[in-house]
Structure 1
Amino acid sequence: MLDRRGLILALGAGLAACRADVPPTRRDSAAEVAQRALGLDSPPDRDFEALLPDSPATPYAPLGQALRALAAGQEGRALVLVLGDSHVAHPRMAERLRDLLQARFGAIGPGRLPPGRAQRGFTPAGLSLTQDGDWQAASALRSATPGPFGLTGYRLSGSRPGDRISLRGTDPRGFDRLHLALHCGPDSGSYRVLAAGQPDTPRESRTATPQLRLIRLDLAPGSREVAVELQGDGPLTLLGWGVDRRGRGVLVESFGINGATLASLDNRSPEILERELAVAPPALIILEFGTNEATDRDFDATAYALALSRRLAALRRASPRSGILLMGVPDAGRPLRGRRRGCAVTPLPALQRVRDVQRRVATRDGAGFFDWSDAVTRDPCRLPALAQADPPLMRPDLVHFTNEGYRLTAERLHAHLLRGTGLGPAGA
């Protein structure tokens, strides 16, 4: 019969898949060791922490310090985290920003993603996502939808044996690390990770009380495929997953929900959001909201300013070493039909008021501000011309951009970030 020490060691060995990949910096208690072995106490990733200032002097300082360190050959990782609405749910803007930063400062893969195909229509470049079986998806779009939700804003739940989600990459460099964000409880079932470098054995996810389990698993270098398969002995709930490569470089992770407003961040579980930010602290958090607020004819500028300030303060408490940037709402409107002189667009009713609040709060609360209108659209009356350009930059709805429009936005945002960090244009 195992004594207490033997039981802890046995648990650690039997559930090695949930073991954190960062050694402790001090002598941990037996209870802490057991918690970490179960995957319930993932410590902050030192590769992200190593490049961040203790107290950012400007909103661009953490990203600037991290990028300079990477350019000088220092080991570490820098994360740019983007949260927003449909402009971010469409992945092309974040992908172009990722390509630009990784080309100069180190490419380490795509990073974390919404779980499976919980985000409908999500087609990330270079990745093929499949989902087999009976899964239930939900998003944090509406406050009436019960949580939990984390950073991704999505949840995927399943319980039938053999149901699986799979990811396949086309990057010849592959990936060598898998991330899982599971919400576990007393009834949670087990699962298998099907990937090179990991044992094909069931993994327990049951916990005494409902709680988040963040798991990092090392895979075989150059892996191109990974799957999570249910055993059917209870439900499994995923709040996110993703793949990357170990080593130095930049990640750009983006999570958007079609139709979202700033309030969708309040529908994320605060304790889960704080935990995910603490484990992988970003160098820069970008908030991209405002288009859906701008459709509100009864828009309350005072209430919106208070909500925006409250959200910035909450993010700073959760991730005090990160910089924060607000993307000012881009021009958007409704096309006027028929032959008309002058402007053929009716701007969204609260467009200018939303942008004015965003700029004012960013200045007052010490966040960066990217003026999307000034950088790309410039005026609502120009939207039809952008939609008819070769190639088109706007879609016919005059609200959303085309792939080329989102890529152009990323290029202008990239230049803005380099100016803010003092690094100048790429290649300079």
Structure 2
Amino acid sequence: DGPYAHFFAALRALEQGRRKDHVRVAWLGDSHAAADFWSGAVRTALQRRFGDGGVGFVHLGYAAYRHDGARLTADGKWRTRPKTPGGSTPVDDGVFGLGGILFSAHQGPARAEITVTGAGPSTRLLWDVCFRSSAPTDELAVTIEGGPSEILRGAAGDDPGALQHAKLASVGATKLGVVPSGAPELCGLVVEADPAAKPGVVLDTLGINGARLATPLRWNELAWAAELGRRSPELVVLEYGTNEAGDVTTDPSLYAKQLAELLARTRRVEPDADCLVLAPTDRRDAPERTPVVRDVLRDAAREGGCAFWDTYEAMGGRGSIEAWYRERPPRASRDGVHLTFRGYRELGVKLSNEILERYRP
């Protein structure tokens, strides 16, 4: 099993009926993951084989956001903290939740809502709402379809600004709405099928537009570690490098150090979790630098005991982003950096096929 030993052992236990909890995957990355096209294809393949544990982590209050298996709306005006979520320098206290972004209502009434699209009429869903309060008057009115509102407040005795979690459950209801009062901040929602009924696979997509390896390193380590520990992933996917390939003034050797530190942070809270490092995609404006960044990440992955998947070669190497763009329909976008829905889905299918080909029941 090599670098997937822990992950595959968990999948075997799941497949053989010996495991009572979901097998979880945490995918950290940049804009390639933010829309959940690439990661969503991997989730679909794993859930088709091992069981559907739910959509996992989603943001609430994020207008320009989508996620496989869910419809999300954000009515009213919302603001984010940090203001530039994909930045690389420390800001505020660094406590931004598992997904690295906080959302709060701004100037008037607001409502965030999610509808889970793939759950059956008798499915028991577990909802874990994360929020952060700074004053006793901060409240969240949370409504699950067909039921009364539940008012969430910061727990008495907790420090102001501490991350709070409220766990709710429903049977047959697939819609949850949140209305803030005061200035509470939303730090995400986890939606899972109840593993007591049937455990499966859950993949949390934690991609951020513009993110680099330095982005999660600017978060408060203890606060983020506590959130990761709540998820307890068997596999952590690190998908960075495309933005780094465009940072032409930065010595690429820095990325090896950053990857090592990010791995160290995850292992301090999840020492048994396996890791998978993904190479950057081809990039039109960085034909020379992209393979250099790829090589640095590949060597750092091996040094850190992680699996490595060469996205750059899977696309076809140098010039592939331009070739993908000129196809009809195209697999790459006009900007020479991002892919289209078709391109991301294809990468997800290739990646999941390679993982499953290595798996032995």
Q: TM-score, normalised by structure 1?
A: 0.76
Query: Per the alignment, in what secondary structure is the counterpart of residue 149 of structure 2?
Result: coil
Cross-structure match for 2:174: 224
Q: 1:161 to 1:384 in 2, by over 3 A?
A: closer
CA contact (8 A) 2:58 2:67 kept: no
Query: Match for 2:79: what amino acid?
Result: Q
Cross-structure match for 1:170: 117
Cross-structure match for 1:88: 33
Unaligned ranges ≥5, structure 1: 1-56, 335-346, 424-428
Cross-structure match for 1:76: 21
CA contact (8 A) 2:71 2:114 kept: yes
Query: Match for 2:264: what amino acid?
Result: A
Distance 2:246 2:29 in 1: 16
- Residues 30-84 of structure 1 deviation map (CA, whole Å, 9 limit, x = unaligned): xxxxxxxxxxxxxxxxxxxxxxxxxxx8431121011111211232211111111
Q: 1:183 to 1:348 in 2, by over 3 A?
A: farther
Are 1:103 and 2:45 an aligned pair? no
Distance 1:252 1:154 in 2: 18
Cα deviation, residue 112, structure 1 = 1.2
- Residues 75-108 of structure 1 deviation map (CA, whole Å, 9 limit, x = unaligned): 2211111111110112111111111111110012
CA contact (8 A) 1:370 1:416 kept: no
Query: Match for 1:62: what amino acid?
Result: H
Pairing 1:276-355 to 2, within 5 Å after superposition: 276-334=227-285, 347-355=286-294
CA contact (8 A) 1:91 1:122 kept: no
Query: Per the alignment, in what secondary structure is the counterpart of residue 225 of structure 2?
Result: helix
Cα deviation, residue 404, structure 1 = 1.0
Query: Per the alignment, in what secondary structure is the counterpart of residue 353 of structure 1?
Result: helix
Q: Determine which of 164, 181, 190 is the counterpart of 2:139.
A: 190
Are 1:405 and 2:350 an aligned pair? no
Q: 1:181 to 1:203 in 2, by over 3 A?
A: closer
Cα deviation, residue 203, structure 1 = 2.9
Pairing 1:1-400 to 2, within 5 Å after superposition: 58-74=2-18, 75-117=20-62, 120-139=63-82, 140-142=85-87, 143=89, 145-146=91-92, 147-158=94-105, 163-173=110-120, 176-187=125-136, 189-196=138-145, 199-205=148-154, 207-208=156-157, 209-210=159-160, 211-219=162-170, 221-230=171-180, 232=181, 234-247=182-195, 248-334=199-285, 347-375=286-314, 377-400=315-338
CA contact (8 A) 1:184 1:207 kept: no
Query: Per the alignment, in what secondary structure is the counterpart of residue 202 of structure 1?
Result: strand
CA contact (8 A) 1:295 1:348 kept: no
Query: Match for 1:96: what amino acid?
Result: A
Q: 1:159 to 1:384 in 2, by over 3 A?
A: closer
- Residues 304-363 of structure 1 deviation map (CA, whole Å, 9 limit, x = unaligned): 2222211111111121121111001122113xxxxxxxxxxxx34521221111111111
Cα deviation, residue 160, structure 1 = 7.7
Cα deviation, residue 186, structure 1 = 4.3
Larger mean CA deviation between 357-366 and 174-183 belongs to: 174-183
Please give the root-mean-square deviation of Cα atoms over the aligned residues, in Å: 2.3
Cross-structure match for 1:27: none
Cα deviation, residue 250, structure 1 = 0.4
CA contact (8 A) 1:184 1:206 kept: no
CA contact (8 A) 1:294 1:349 kept: no
Distance 1:415 1:305 in 2: 27
Distance 1:165 1:136 in 2: 13
CA contact (8 A) 1:299 1:350 kept: no
Distance 2:172 2:247 in 1: 48
Query: Per the alignment, in what secondary structure is the counterpart of residue 326 of structure 1?
Result: strand
Distance 1:349 1:297 in 2: 10
Cross-structure match for 1:12: none
CA contact (8 A) 2:23 2:233 kept: yes
Query: Per the alignment, in what secondary structure is the counterpart of residue 322 of structure 2?
Result: helix
Greater RCO structure (CA 8 Å; 6+ sep): 2
Larger mean CA deviation between 92-101 and 206-215 belongs to: 206-215
CA contact (8 A) 1:189 1:206 kept: no
Give structure 1 regions of 4+ aligned residues with deviation exceeding 6 angstroms. Answer: none
Q: 1:97 to 1:201 in 2, by over 3 A?
A: closer
CA contact (8 A) 2:325 2:333 kept: yes
Cα deviation, residue 251, structure 1 = 0.7
Task: Count the aligned residue pairs.
Answer: 349
Query: Per the alignment, in what secondary structure is the counterpart of residue 333 of structure 1?
Result: coil
Q: 1:272 to 1:188 in 2, by over 3 A?
A: farther
CA contact (8 A) 1:59 1:323 kept: yes
Query: Match for 2:61: what amino acid?
Result: G
Query: Per the alignment, in what secondary structure is the counterpart of residue 151 of structure 2?
Result: coil
Distance 1:242 1:160 in 2: 27
Distance 2:189 2:130 in 1: 6
Q: Which has the larger radius of gyration?
A: 1
Query: Match for 1:70: what amino acid?
Result: L
Distance 1:368 1:317 in 2: 19
- Residues 185-206 of structure 1 deviation map (CA, whole Å, 9 limit, x = unaligned): 4445122221148643433225
